[in-house]
Chains A and B, each alone.
Chain A
Amino acid sequence: MSEIIRKLEMRKITKKFPGVLACNNIDIHLKSGEILALLGENGAGKTTLMNVLFGLYQPEHGDIFINDKKVIINSPSTAFKYGIGMVHQHFMLVPNLTVVENVALGLIGKRILKLNLSEVRDKILEVSKLYGLSVNPDAYIWQLSVGEQQRVELIKVLCLGANLLILDEPTAALTPQETDELIILLKKMAENDRSIIFISHKLNEVKAVSNRVCVLRTGSLVYEGKTKEHSVSALAEKMAGREISMPTLKQKSKGTTPILEIDNVFAKGSKGTMALDGFSLTVNKGEIVGIAGVSGNGQKELADVINGIGHIESGKILLNSEEITNRSPQKIINKGIGYIPEDRIHEGTIPSFSVKENIIMKDYNKPPLSKNLFLQNKIIEDYSLELIKNFDIRCPNNKTSCGSLSGGNVQKVILARELSRKPEMLIASYPIRGLDIGAAEYVHEQLLEARSENIGILLISEELDELLDICDRIAVIYEGKILDILDRDIATKSKLGLLMAGIKDEKQVI
């Protein structure tokens, strides 16, 4: 077991990538028992800084000191040796091994020949008892929920003897309850003299969990101080470098002309069961209709069937009173439906393609962008530059691959493409999930702008704040059908919460 990290310092860390200064002369320090929140928008350099600490990247300048001694961390195993453990945003677990086996994987490096699984199991039970991390050591990873998998990750790092934990956006995939449990757990760990670095851009969580906060903006440390001295909105302002106010709907839509009509649709999900089970809904022109619901209740299938990607067993979908049921995606695109898909990296964009090529993804085969099968490079060039400017897409140039952009900028590429096509109807699936607050504000502004241009919008989301902010009506989807539709003036979080849980008894909703 390594020496307890009483004090960690990173001094004047500078890390550069081709074209970007990811970390610019950053100083941070941390004492044992402290929870430090590293706050910043996407691409501010949080993850890079932590990868430097964890030995995944080598900084160009700067040193790391542990207990006032200079250390060189050039690989994750060195980091472990010093007692630094990291839980990545995407879990590093082998799905078809058990919890014990996964934890043992991390220990194998230490004892090559002798692998004593029962010893590992004892260690897991010891750690889980100490922190109240309940987990079945013999369960397979694939059997566990996302929240449980995260606990396994934590146990793994703790079993490896880490006393400084780096958590990279640990709550990104968790449900609200799981998030609350995690926060309690982290506090308990801090009480046990472990130190924690918590990377996030969710301000409420940062506020709830951390003692101190460091705010990064475009690679530089712009603020450092006690968390409790600042309100959520003050932190948001520091993070974005400007005042942030999430836009809200001022006036109810007057639109009464239906643009999208979904009538009693049945469609199968990937498991072969009816994911849409008699789904009906109408969206009017110039109206934002929200679909609230716990994910997995048919949202993905709904978006897919409207866009022709999924197959409808029975029922009808009309756009402008014209039937588009089971048409090909190409035909539906041409009819004027825009789609911001849930998976913005692999569905909404092609990561290895340039920003330019991603911007023309839906119009490459139409004049003037192409003529007789030939792409018109000059026109495409101008068009892409225009969209990059109009939608403020931050990229070194239009030939940069989309995969190297931050989530917010990828979403801007998609928005730019979908909205510039002047659709009549827009499907937006979780459009602000994982985005920082500045980017989220921008996306909502664009959606409201589209609404004022008489575009009908279907907004699928789990975040009630988002739905209550900008929707005219909120429909709650439960097990493949609409349970109820609430107008914005009567919708509240508690009403929606109950409906999302499948409860539609008026008496229970006060």
Chain B
Amino acid sequence: MKNKLYNETIYRVLIIVIAIFSALFVGAILLLIAKTNPLKAYYVMFTEPLSGKFGLTEILVRAAPLMLVGLGIAIAFRSGIINIGGEGQILIGAIFGTFIALTFPNLPPYILLPFVFIASFIGGAIWGGIAGWMKAYLSVNEILSTIMLNYIAFQVYMYLIRGPMIDPKEVSYGTGVPQTALLSKNAWLVRIIPASRLHAGIIVAVILAILVYIFLWKTTIGYKLRAAGAEAKAAKYIGVNVKNYLVLAMLLSGGFAGMAGAIEVCGVHHRGLESISAGYGFSGIVVALFGGLHPLGIIPASAIFGLLIVGADMMQRSVTVPASIILAIQGLIILAIVSSQIFFSNIALKEKIMIKLKLMKQGDKDDS
């Protein structure tokens, strides 16, 4: 039995490695077109981030928001909702948190930070909740509504950081960069490794991942949420108000994305600025799927994704590859990983390959 688990793991790793390699192969063609040596570029991408304090801490800096968004997406998925609106929920969360931090700059950190996070959670939850409510009571497809809400959130956010919430200095200097004022130090997350950007947000994210696991699998509310997502008809049969649980799932999902906004504001930038999200709302979906929609799988998944992002950044700098190719390669890797899921979900296919790879014997009789 143990042997079987071991073989399963080998299979899993193998498939993902092959997926990444095939993506890199296609990426290599792009790099060649851009007259870059793909081997050198990839070498930088995968070894540099892991070879020093800077790279390693940066990976975790990226992993923190990804983990939170991924958790939110997983909650929604488990409840049968596909939340594409992470991006908008991050922005609304970020602006709620920023507002609180700017309004109460003198509160001590141990009061202000939780306050900021709660505000961000509420902001994201409202934004997610709108889509949840529309799905439950107006039968609006959540994919459409969350995408549209992303646009609205972005414009609202931009309006606020360009107008009412713009840094007064930007106005007085006449530079007009759209960003809010710097937060007071009381709202900064502590740096946990000196001389790096790595902040306490990663610890918050890991703790929240464990809490989400406990919530979904160990509490009655989590049970109802998963039941409503897995089989709405059966959930109704046992007396679960499925509509309310749809809304709850979206509130939580949005709330977690909102907290990712707070992490970026309080941990990295210390203010609200235009590119606060860096696409985490979308990458978070891949992180969630990659992590098997399980909180404890999302923890490593977000780190791996952090590596991809940081590695691509470093490759861009040291091999001078155009940024657009980096984005394309990231996209390719995501596509390859998502496509490779079929090798896990299609049992017959999996069995065939495992037999070919001699990870499983024909007519195996070990497990009865």
Query: A21 with B368: in contact, given A329-B237, A348-B237 (CB under 8 Å)?
Result: yes
Are the C-beta atoms of A353 and B230 separated by less than 8 Å? yes
Are the C-beta atoms of A16 and B234 separated by less than 8 Å? no
A-B contact pairs, 23 of them (CB 8 A): A16-B363, A16-B364, A16-B365, A18-B347, A329-B238, A330-B238, A331-B239, A332-B239, A333-B239, A343-B233, A347-B234, A347-B237, A350-B227, A353-B231, A357-B223, A361-B238, A362-B238, A362-B239, A373-B221, A374-B218, A374-B219, A375-B218, A375-B219
Which residues of B, 45-92, contact A by the 8 Å Cβ criterion? none
Residues of A at the B interface (CB closer than 8 Å) are 14, 16, 18-21, 57-58, 60-61, 307-309, 328-333, 339, 341, 343, 346-353, 357, 361-362, 364-365, 370, 373-375, 377
Are the C-beta atoms of A373 and B227 separated by less than 8 Å? no
Is B5's CB within 8 Å of the partner chain A?
no
Are the C-beta atoms of B230 and A350 separated by less than 8 Å? yes
Query: A364 with B352: in contact, given A309-B237, A347-B234, A352-B230 (CB under 8 Å)?
Result: no
Q: Whole-angstrom distance between the alpha carbons of A18 and B363 in the complex? A: 10
Q: Whole-angstrom distance between the alpha carbons of A18 and B4 in the complex? A: 11
Residues in A whose Cβ lies below 8 Å from that of B347: 18
Nearest to A370 among chain B residues (CB) is: B220
A58, A341, A374: the one within 8 Å of B352 (CB): A58
Shortest beta-carbon distance from B217 to chain A in Å:
8
Are the C-beta atoms of B223 and A339 separated by less than 8 Å? no
Query: A377 with B237: in contact, given A14-B363, A364-B223 (CB under 8 Å)?
Result: no
Interface on chain B toward A: helix, strand, loop, or mixed SS?
Answer: helix
Are the C-beta atoms of B363 and A349 separated by less than 8 Å? no
20 new A-B pairs (CB below 8 Å) besides A19-B367, A330-B239, A350-B227?
A: A14-B363, A18-B347, A18-B367, A21-B368, A328-B239, A333-B239, A341-B237, A343-B233, A347-B231, A349-B234, A350-B234, A353-B226, A353-B230, A353-B231, A364-B220, A364-B223, A374-B218, A375-B218, A375-B223, A377-B218
Q: Whole-angstrom distance between the alpha carbons of A56 and B238 in the complex? A: 36
7 closest cross-chain pairs (CB), A and B: A330-B239, A60-B363, A329-B239, A350-B231, A365-B220, A347-B233, A350-B234
Is B155's CB within 8 Å of the partner chain A?
no
Contact with A along B324-367 (1 / 0, CB 8 A): 00000000000000000000000110001000000000111101
Residues in A whose Cβ lies below 8 Å from that of B236: 309, 329
Shortest beta-carbon distance from A456 to chain B in Å:
20
Which residues of B, 185-243, contact A by the 8 Å Cβ criterion? 217-221, 223, 226-227, 230-231, 233-239
Shortest beta-carbon distance from B128 to chain A in Å:
22
Residues in A whose Cβ lies below 8 Å from that of B348: 57
Shortest beta-carbon distance from B74 to chain A in Å:
15
Query: A19 with B368: in contact, given A351-B231, A352-B230 (CB under 8 Å)?
Result: yes
Residues in B whose Cβ lies below 8 Å from that of A351: 230-231
Q: Whole-angstrom distance between the alpha carbons of A372 and B239 in the complex? A: 19
Q: Whole-angstrom distance between the alpha carbons of A19 and B368 in the complex? A: 5
Shortest beta-carbon distance from A161 to chain B in Å:
27
Q: How many residues does chain B have at the interface if contact means C-beta atoms less than 8 Å apart?
A: 26
Nearest to A360 among chain B residues (CB) is: B223
Shortest beta-carbon distance from B249 to chain A in Å:
16
Shortest beta-carbon distance from A414 to chain B in Å:
10
Are the C-beta atoms of A346 and B223 separated by less than 8 Å? no
Q: Whole-angstrom distance between the alpha carbons of A62 and B220 in the complex? A: 49
Residues in B whose Cβ lies below 8 Å from that of A373: 219-221
Are the C-beta atoms of B237 and A339 separated by less than 8 Å? yes
Residues in B whose Cβ lies below 8 Å from that of A349: 231, 234
Nearest to B4 among chain A residues (CB) is: A18
Nearest to B363 among chain A residues (CB) is: A60
Contact with A along B261-289 (1 / 0, CB 8 A): 00000000000000000000000000000
Q: Whole-angstrom distance between the alpha carbons of A353 and B367 in the complex? A: 21
Nearest to A346 among chain B residues (CB) is: B233
Q: Whole-angstrom distance between the alpha carbons of A341 and B220 in the complex? A: 23
Residues in A whose Cβ lies below 8 Å from that of B368: 19-21
Q: Whole-angstrom distance between the alpha carbons of A353 and B226 in the complex? A: 9
Residues in B whose Cβ lies below 8 Å from that of A364: 220, 223
Q: Whole-angstrom distance between the alpha carbons of A341 and B218 in the complex? A: 27
Residues in A whose Cβ lies below 8 Å from that of B218: 374-375, 377
Shortest beta-carbon distance from A485 to chain B in Å:
28
Shortest beta-carbon distance from A62 to chain B in Å:
10
Nearest to A369 among chain B residues (CB) is: B220
Residues in B whose Cβ lies below 8 Å from that of A365: 220
Q: Whole-angstrom distance between the alpha carbons of A362 and B237 in the complex? A: 9
Shortest beta-carbon distance from B344 to chain A in Å:
14
Q: Whole-angstrom distance between the alpha carbons of A362 and B240 in the complex? A: 10
Shortest beta-carbon distance from A315 to chain B in Å:
22
Q: Whole-angstrom distance between the alpha carbons of A365 and B224 in the complex? A: 10
Residues in B whose Cβ lies below 8 Å from that of A362: 238-239
Residues in A whose Cβ lies below 8 Å from that of B364: 16
Shortest beta-carbon distance from A449 to chain B in Å:
23
Are the C-beta atoms of A333 and B363 separated by less than 8 Å? no
Shortest beta-carbon distance from A69 to chain B in Å:
23
Shortest beta-carbon distance from A76 to chain B in Å:
13
B226, B234, B239, B352: the one within 8 Å of A348 (CB): B234
Q: Whole-angstrom distance between the alpha carbons of A129 and B230 in the complex? A: 47
Q: Whole-angstrom distance between the alpha carbons of A19 and B4 in the complex? A: 12
Residues in A whose Cβ lies below 8 Å from that of B235: 350
Q: Whole-angstrom distance between the alpha carbons of A357 and B220 in the complex? A: 11
Q: Whole-angstrom distance between the alpha carbons of A370 and B217 in the complex? A: 12
Residues in B whose Cβ lies below 8 Å from that of A361: 227, 234, 238
Nearest to A339 among chain B residues (CB) is: B237
Are the C-beta atoms of A333 and B238 separated by less than 8 Å? yes
Residues in A whose Cβ lies below 8 Å from that of B239: 308, 328-333, 362
Nearest to A376 among chain B residues (CB) is: B218
Residues in B whose Cβ lies below 8 Å from that of A21: 365, 368
Q: Whole-angstrom distance between the alpha carbons of A160 and B78 in the complex? A: 42
Shortest beta-carbon distance from B101 to chain A in Å:
32
Nearest to B234 among chain A residues (CB) is: A350
Nearest to A17 among chain B residues (CB) is: B347
Residues in A whose Cβ lies below 8 Å from that of B223: 357, 364, 375
